[in-house]
Structure 1
Amino acid sequence: MSEHMGRGGAGVILRDHAGAFRAASCHVVLRATDPEMVELLACKKAIELARRVGVGKLHLECDSAGVVSMLNNQEKNLSATGPTVEDVKSRLKEFDEFRVSWVSRSANAAADRLAKVGMGDELNSVWLSSPPDCILHIVSDEIPAFS
């Protein structure tokens, strides 16, 4: 999130159970209020994209421990971000199975790069068949090696 410009970026990458690329998206978030809200909006975009490509079981990985905690908390969130948290929780229940877990920013490099592209270029894009050039090297480096 760019504090001085009030903008944020949301980056999403979908992988299959083996870690191979399925889809990706990037989005600019205008009038971003705080980093947690930007991360929650990224979660909503991830859910939308997962639904679009027919994902039944979703493992949502976030690099914000606070957002992961909010989404895994069974109690109703009454904070300022509560309505968005509850919306994401509700959308997650539409999947056959789901889980939400924390990953480090370095383990979330492709999504982080897409978020920066979305914010910097004020871009809203979706890639369905192959990754965009801006993350191609990250995705190819993360493909599991088969022996």
Structure 2
Amino acid sequence: MNWDASIAKDIDWMGLGMVLRDEQRIVVLAAYSKTFVGNLDVLTAKARAGLIALQVCKSLGFTKIHLEGNAQGVISAINSRHPDWSSIGMLVEDFKLKLQSLQQWQLSFVRREGNQAAHTLANLASRTFMNNMWLHGPPECIVGIVQREQVTPYALNLNQ
């Protein structure tokens, strides 16, 4: 599952984008795009978006998830064994708690180039008020991006 957040400060909206694929990264199992009203800083927006994307995956019944995002600070904080006392600490600790209910999970940083589909959906949601879920294939606006992301390894594992 890839996720991202986008902020439109001029209109005080935040968009969340999520793309859930099969293990081979070929088939899009679900895509999700949602708008939130309010002006958050980038780190908080990305942490909140990741937490909501995780909740969407769990609500769809997935218990084994590999999460990828381009928010390196958020991912490092969640992967840390130490409590997070930063401005996003409560979101990070909530994220860790929700991960414990999964059968298996991995959280990896991915460069922006490998997170374009989720970013595109987040950007769309930050500019167009929406709450959309696609369950049988990706929306047309990310089909080409999804195909490019299938064949290029962008993930950098920060768990080590």
Same fold (TM over 0.5): yes
Moved more, 70-79 or 106-115: 70-79
Aligned-pair distance for 1:30?
1.7
* Alignment gaps of 5+ in structure 2: 1-6, 152-160
- Between Structure 1 and Structure 2, how many residues are aligned? 144
Q: Which SS does the other structure have where 2:137 is aligned?
A: coil
Amino acid of the residue matched to residue 75 of structure 2?
Answer: V
User: Where do 1:42-61 residues align within 5 Å?
Assistant: 42-61=49-68
User: Where do 1:1-147 residues align within 5 Å?
Assistant: 1-19=7-25, 20-144=27-151
- Quickly say closer, same or farther: Cα 1:143–1:104, change in 2 above 3 A: closer
Moved more, 108-117 or 27-36: 27-36
> Is 2:114–2:149's contact at 8 Å kept on the other side of the alignment?
no
> Is 1:29–1:38's contact at 8 Å kept on the other side of the alignment?
no
> Is 2:16–2:35's contact at 8 Å kept on the other side of the alignment?
yes
Amino acid of the residue matched to residue 61 of structure 1?
Answer: E
Aligned equivalents of 1:131 and 1:37: distance in 2? 27
Amino acid of the residue matched to residue 72 of structure 1?
Answer: N
> Is 2:8–2:127's contact at 8 Å kept on the other side of the alignment?
no
Aligned equivalents of 1:48 and 1:67: distance in 2? 16
* Alignment gaps of 5+ in structure 1: none
Q: Residues 77-136 of structure 1, C-alpha deviation per residue, up to 9 Å, x if partnerless?
A: 122221111111111111111111100111001000000111110212111111111112
Aligned equivalents of 1:29 and 1:73: distance in 2? 28
Aligned equivalents of 2:121 and 2:78: distance in 1? 22
Aligned-pair distance for 1:53?
2.4
Calculate percent identity across the aligned residue pairs: 31
